[in-house]
Every structure is written in structure tokens, then in C-alpha cells.
Amino acid sequence: DTGVSQDPRHKITKRGQNVTFRCDPISEHNRLYWYRQTLGQGPEFLTYFQNEAQLEKSRLLSDRFSAERPKGSFSTLEIQRTEQGDSAMYLCATTRGDYGYTFGSGTRLTVV
């Protein structure tokens, strides 16, 4: 247990369905990041929050993706109208500042 909690651990969904993932950060970490990792690749940045403000979104993040962090606590990542190319491990990471991340266990998404 890293202190960063992600739910669910695994999600299998049919193409076209919507899915939502949740991340609960370490309480004193004000920065929260979402990354996506596919097999054989390093994590790719999707978006990040400082407290409740979403400060940057990757060009990888299509209009089907949306993320929120209400009240600067937990965060959710929603994917609408899932496609097979969305199959990946979705990683949440948090940090207090300019330090290395603490990653959660990830949510593995399989779109069938």
C-alpha cells in the first residue's frame, strides 16, 4: 500500500460504455497527476491538478476524457464512449511539490 488508493483495480467494459476511475491521494499531497501506461511503454502524462485546479491537460486527452478533483481531495477520471485503444493501465500519482511521485496501484482497463 503506497498511501495513494485507486479504485477499481481492474475494469472490463464493452466498447462504447462510459467508465469512471477514482484516486484518493496522500492527504498532504496537493498535486495529483493522471498517467496512462500501455504494455512496453513508460507512463504518459494525461493531466494534473494542484489542489482543485486542473492546470494542464495533455493533447493525448481527447474530448472523451474528463477529470475532476472537487475540493482538492480525491480525483476522478471519466472516459466516455470507450474505444479499444483506451485499454491501458491508468495510474494516479501524487506529490507535495517538486519531488518524485508516489503512484497508486493503478486501474487496468480492458475494453472489449
Partner 1 sequence: QKEVEQNSGPLSVPEGAIASLNCTYSDRGSQSFFWYRQYSGKSPELIMSIYSNGDKEDGRFTAQLNKASQYVSLLIRDSQPSDSATYLCAVGLTGGGNKLTFGTGTQLKVEL
Q: Does 33 bind partner 1 (CB under 8 A)?
A: yes
Q: Does 50 bind partner 1 (CB under 8 A)?
A: yes
Q: Which three cell numbers stand for residue 8?
A: 477499481
Backbone φ/ψ region at 52: left (φ over 0), alpha (ψ -120 to 50), beta: alpha
Number of residues engaging partner 1 in binding (CB under 8 A)? 27
Q: How far apart are CA 109 and CA 11, in angstroms?
A: 5
CB closer to partner 1 out of 58 and 80: 58
Binding-site member from 19, 21, 23, 31 for partner 1 (CB under 8 A): 31
Q: How far apart are CA 102 and CA 109, in angstroms?
A: 20
Q: Does 70 bind partner 1 (CB under 8 A)?
A: no
Q: Does 83 bind partner 1 (CB under 8 A)?
A: no
Q: Which three cell numbers stand for residue 14?
A: 464493452
54 three-class SS: strand
Binding-site member from 44, 52, 74, 76 for partner 1 (CB under 8 A): 44
CA dihedral defined by 44, 46, 49, 54, rounded to 10 degrees? 160
Binding-site member from 15, 56, 68, 110 for partner 1 (CB under 8 A): 56
**Where do contacts with partner 1 occur on this chain (CB under 8 A)?**
2, 31, 33, 35, 40-45, 48, 50, 55-56, 89, 91, 95, 97-106
